[in-house]
Amino acid sequence: MHSIPFEHGLILAGVLFVLGLIGVLTRRNVVFVLMSLEIMLNACGLAFVVSSARWQHADGQIMFLMILTLAAAEVAVGLGLIIQMYRRYHTVDLNVLTQMKG
Amino acid sequence: MILLFYLAATVALISTVAVILQSDVVHALIYLILSLLAVAVIFYTLGAPFAAMLEAIVYAGAIMVLFLFVIMMLNLGKRSRQQEKSWIQRRVWIGPVILAGVLLAQLLNVLVQQGTDVAVVEVGVRAVGLSLFGPYVLAVEIASILLLAGLVGAYHLAKK
């Protein structure tokens, strides 16, 4: 069997997570922010699968399935919010939403 | 297999950087699909074929198609692309990039200090399925309730 250094997988997950974080912090388009959140969730799932491979146990993959479910629900609700925001304000600029009272 | 891991990791990193640098939403989405497929290949090399399949089918398939439909509904044209270009300026992104880079450096510093080289043993569909519907059956039920709540919430929010 081949072997892969455990920490290389975790480093990849960390770098992907930070890239997603930079996307969330710097973008103003709400669609891009949601995509960056997806990148971050995916990086978390990668870390769990790497741990699953490290200890040769199925639990990490179970956790990845839970993250997948969470991401699906989050994207559905988030995209619904984006559609509603576009209907009301005709923009996808996050800075327009500075007050709660619509 | 090791070569496959590093190749897929390179593809994933490059395409993720391309996602957060794009000004066109659809191009960014295509790059994101590429990144997710590269991560699916990484899962396969790590001995998790079930997770790889789900990554390709659910993430790169279903969730990204959902994104594509919403982008088509929003009908963002040339104006939005120019607006994006004007939003991505150096003084906007330089601060967050430096601070996030510091956090990443700390994380990497912790990670490189412990080196373990382990053989990859495949944890197949059977093991995952037995675990999922054995000790974790309650988590499956809760996930179904979460999906139902997401369905109802998305329907209510997207309704006129």
Q: Tens of pLDDT along B58-113? A: 988 888 998 888 888 887 777 777 777 777 777 878 888 999 999 999 988 888 87
Are B97 and A26 a contacting pair at CB < 8 A? Answer: yes
pLDDT of A1 above 70: no
pLDDT of B124 above 80: yes
Identify which of B87, B71, B85, B82 has the alpha carbon closest to the alpha carbon of residue B26: B71
Rounded to whole angstroms, how far apart are CA atoms A66 and B145? 12
B40, B55 Cβ separation under 8 angstroms: yes
Rounded to whole angstroms, how far apart are CA atoms B145 and A11? 34
Query: In chain A, which among 14-33 make CB contacts under 8 A with chain B?
Result: 14-16, 18-23, 25-29, 31-32
Query: In chain B, which among 38-57 make CB contacts under 8 A with chain A?
Result: 39, 42-43, 45-48, 50-51, 54-55
What is the SS3 string spanning chain B?
CHHHHHHHHHHHHHHHHHHHHCCCHHHHHHHHHHHHHHHHHHHHHCCCHHHHHHHHHHHHHHHHHHHHHHHHHHCCCHHHHHHHHHHCCHHHHHHHHHHHHHHHHHHHHHHHCCCCEEECCCCCHHHHHHHHCCCCHHHHHHHHHHHHHHHHHHHHHHCC
Rounded to whole angstroms, how far apart are CA atoms B141 and B61? 24
Backbone angles phi, psi at B114, to 5 degrees: -115, 110
ipTM: 0.90
Beta bridge partners of A29: A93
Q: Average pLDDT, stretch A82-97?
A: 84
Q: Average pLDDT, stretch A67-90?
A: 90
Rounded to whole angstroms, how far apart are CA atoms B109 and B78? 43
Give the pLDDT band (50/70/90) at residue B156.
very high
Does B120 or B43 have the greater pLDDT score? B43
Q: Which of A28, A34, A61 sits opposite B50 (nearest CB)?
A: A61
Give the pLDDT band (50/70/90) at residue B57.
very high
Rounded to whole angstroms, how far apart are CA atoms A51 and A31? 31
Rounded to whole angstroms, how far apart are CA atoms B71 and B157? 16
The string over B115-151, giving b where at least 16 C-beta atoms fall within 10 Å of a residue's C-beta and e elsewhere, is: eeeeebeebebebbeebbeeebeeeeeebeebeeebe
Torsion of CA B111, B112, B114, B115, to 10 degrees: 120
Q: Which of A26, A57, A74 sits opposite B92 (nearest CB)?
A: A26
Query: pTM to 2 decimals?
Result: 0.90
Q: Which of A4, A56, A79 sits opposite B2 (nearest CB)?
A: A4
Pick the residue of B157, B159, B160 with the most A CBs within 10 A to test the interface with A by mutation: B157
- Chain A residues whose beta carbon lies within 8 Å of the beta carbon of residue B36: 42
Across all residues in chain B, what is the average pLDDT? Answer: 88
Q: Average pLDDT, stretch A89-94?
A: 82
* Structural domains of chain A, with CATH: 8-90 (1.10.287.3510)
Q: Average pLDDT, stretch A79-92?
A: 87
